[in-house]
Amino acid sequence: MDSMLEQTKETHQLFVDIDEGRIPKRVPVHTWLDISYVIQYAGMDMRRANWDVENFKNLFDLSAKTFKSDINAVDITRFIPVYNILGAVNFVLGSSGQIQHPEVKGMEADEYEELIADPYKFIHDKLLPRLYKKLDANPAQRAIAFSKAMKAQSDIFGHIIAHQDSLAEKYGLAYERVGCQTVAPFDLIADQFRGFSEMSKDIRRYPDQVVRACEAVLPMLIKAGIKPHSSRQKRTFMPLHMAPYLRLSDFEKFYWPTFKRLIEALWAAGAAPLLFVEQDWTRFLDHLNELPAGTQMMFEYGDPKVIKEKVGKKHIISGLYPLTLLSKGTKQECIDKAKELIDILAPGGNYIFSFDKIALNLNDANPENIIAVNEFVREYGVY
Amino acid sequence: MEFKSEYYTSWEDYVHENEIDTENEDVIKANTQSYEEMVFDFTMWLVM
């Protein structure tokens, strides 16, 4: 156990060095696998395993032993017992056992002023009863459903968090890197409030209200992204959704101002962001470079050389390794790609090796290729 | 930029609205406000 604890300190130090602007001993490897991927790898029935909270720790152990990530690879944020208790329409279990997120609309176009007046009250009064059928009930029934669901979510999170830290010390991994989550104001409203399609129309029909709504939800999203344990090593995860679908002028008017203020507020409170930069943000790299130094950006698409040149000196880069190659490529092709990316992104530090997406299904990435690539990076990525 | 809502009770609001034993405020706060925060966190989880 002592040797594993030493190993944990050494592995964790790779990330600390990057967070503090030093070049680590080698490039750290942070693989992200949805728990559904690990369930399938273990040969379990997804329809049962999503409910079997007690079994989650076995999946964490299996992943830690198998995939050669320097940090826990299992990502689990959606709990089917909670969604079931609430009668969720926004997250539902598909016939294959995979959790699906259909496009939903929890807010009508004529409700912007109500949202702006008190976003948290609006969520409880209007949004939640539309997204969760069991909350569309009389006050007593509603209170009972909410209480049951919150207790379930708290118990499941407690179960997972307790296991994560002991997992690190059991297998010599770094400690968990994500401490909480928030989202960009525009993304919050575009996702489960208005839906992506309606939001695309709202910026033409109600531009001033959209701007004011982003301003109104900002304090709530700052609060969500700051926790007592927030730090450069326990980061605030932020998946970024809608910017690539906006014209530059719309991005600068609707998305960027409150997003930037959110990131600055997190940093000012000691909470370091980890952005999952979904889709292609090439048009916005100069904007990203304006954010406070040390922000981690996990890119899905883009030219690695351009990204390194434009934001890699100031920020921590990860992602960009194509998951599709791990699915179809030969072992050697996969390793060659890892070498190509390390040669571009690792010089000077500020780089954590990870894939461009989170693997959801076993078809997304051949497990043998994941292992081969991660082992290669650990050897080749030595500074 | 402070978060405020009719449905969220900050510790300052709680003290104002309730008779708090000031000598033991630290333990009262630790065992009261944390549940307000838990509801906030759960609410945000439901909409993200």
Whether A267 and chain B come into contact, CB under 8 Å, resolves to no
Question: In Å, how far is A180's CA from the nearest CA of chain B?
Answer: 10
- Read off the pLDDT of each residue in A229-255 and give the average, rounded to a whole number: 97
Asked whether A139 and B27 are in contact (CB, 8 A), the reply is no
Chain B hits for A154, Cβ within 8 Å: 38, 42
- pLDDT of residue A88 exceeding 70: yes
Asked whether A237 and A276 are in contact (CB, 8 A), the reply is yes
> Which tokens in the block code for residue A333?
């092709």
- pLDDT of residue A296 exceeding 90: yes
Residue A85's pLDDT is what?
97
Strand partners, A235: A178
Question: Which contacts qualify for A209-212: CB closer than 8 Å, 24 or more apart?
Answer: A209/A112, A209/A113, A209/A116, A210/A112, A210/A186, A210/A254, A211/A253, A211/A254, A212/A112, A212/A116
Other CB atoms closer than 10 Å to residue A158's CB: what's the count?
10
Residue A102's pLDDT is what?
86
CA triplet A137, A141, A145: central angle to 5 degrees? 100
Residue A73's pLDDT is what?
94
Burial of B36 (C-beta count, 10 Å sphere; 0-12/13-18/19+): middle
Chain B hits for A119, Cβ within 8 Å: 5
Q: Can you tell me the distance from the alpha carbon of B18 to that of B12, in angstroms, rounded to the nearest whole number?
A: 10
Whether B47 and chain A come into contact, CB under 8 Å, resolves to yes
Residue A1's pLDDT is what?
54
Percent of chain A with pLDDT over 70: 100
- Read off the pLDDT of each residue in A20-48 and give the average, rounded to a whole number: 96
Residue A99: band (very low, low, confident or very high) from pLDDT cuts 50, 70, 90 = confident
Q: Can you tell me the distance from the alpha carbon of A44 to that of A59, in angstroms, rounded to the nearest whole number?
A: 10
Residue whose structure tokens are 């967070």:
A19
Residue A162: band (very low, low, confident or very high) from pLDDT cuts 50, 70, 90 = confident
- Read off the pLDDT of each residue in A245-274 and give the average, rounded to a whole number: 98
Q: How many CB pairs under 8 A join A and B?
A: 64
Q: What single letter denotes the amino acid at residue A103? A: E
Residue A77: band (very low, low, confident or very high) from pLDDT cuts 50, 70, 90 = confident
Q: Can you tell me the distance from the alpha carbon of A182 to that of A217, in angstroms, rounded to the nearest whole number?
A: 11
Query: For residue range B1-40, what is the model confidence (pLDDT) as tens digits?
Result: 799 999 999 999 999 999 899 999 999 999 999 999 999 9
- pLDDT of residue A165 exceeding 80: no
Q: How far is CA A58 from the centre of its chain?
A: 22
Residues 80-139 of A with CB under 8 A from B: 86, 106, 118-121, 123-124, 127-128, 131-132
- Read off the pLDDT of each residue in A245-255 and give the average, rounded to a whole number: 97
Question: In Å, how far is B18's CA from the nearest CA of chain A?
Answer: 22
Decide: pTM greater than 0.90. yes
Q: Can you tell me the distance from the alpha carbon of A333 to that of A335, in angstroms, rounded to the nearest whole number?
A: 5
Chain A hits for B42, Cβ within 8 Å: 149-150, 153-154
Query: For residue range A35-62, what is the model confidence (pLDDT) as tens digits?
Result: 999 999 999 999 899 999 999 999 999 9
Handedness of CA B5, B7, B8, B14 (dihedral sign): positive
> Which tokens in the block code for residue A245?
């679908």
Q: How far is CA A292 from the centre of its chain?
A: 19
Other CB atoms closer than 10 Å to residue A169's CB: what's the count?
15
Q: Can you tell me the distance from the alpha carbon of A139 to that of B40, in angstroms, rounded to the nearest whole number?
A: 19
Asked whether A304 and A297 are in contact (CB, 8 A), the reply is no
Residue A362's pLDDT is what?
95
Residue A283's pLDDT is what?
96
Asked whether A15 and A174 are in contact (CB, 8 A), the reply is yes
Q: Can you tell me the distance from the alpha carbon of B31 to that of B22, in angstroms, rounded to the nearest whole number?
A: 14
Query: For residue range A170-191, what is the model confidence (pLDDT) as tens digits?
Result: 999 999 999 999 999 999 999 9
Which residue among B3, B39, B47 places its CB closest to the CB of A223? B3
Percent of chain A with pLDDT over 90: 92
What kind and span of H or E run contains A74?
Answer: strand A74-75
Question: In Å, how far is A24's CA from the nearest CA of chain B?
Answer: 34
In A112-255, which residue ranges form alpha helices assigned H by DSSP? Answer: 112-117, 119-122, 128-131, 139-171, 185-188, 196-205, 207-224, 248-250
Burial of A295 (C-beta count, 10 Å sphere; 0-12/13-18/19+): buried
Q: How far is CA A139 from the centre of its chain?
A: 34
Q: How far is CA A133 from the centre of its chain?
A: 26
Residue A380's pLDDT is what?
98
Q: What single letter denotes the amino acid at residue A304? A: P
Asked whether A250 and A287 are in contact (CB, 8 A), the reply is no
Q: Can you tell me the distance from the alpha carbon of B25 to that of B12, in angstroms, rounded to the nearest whole number?
A: 11
Asked whether A72 and A64 are in contact (CB, 8 A), the reply is yes
Query: For residue range A131-150, what is the model confidence (pLDDT) as tens digits?
Result: 999 999 999 999 999 999 99
Residues 6+ away with beta carbon under 8 Å from A70 = A11, A14, A15, A28, A29, A30, A173, A174, A378
Chain A hits for B40, Cβ within 8 Å: 120, 223-224
ipTM over 0.90: yes
> Which tokens in the block code for residue B44?
């945000």
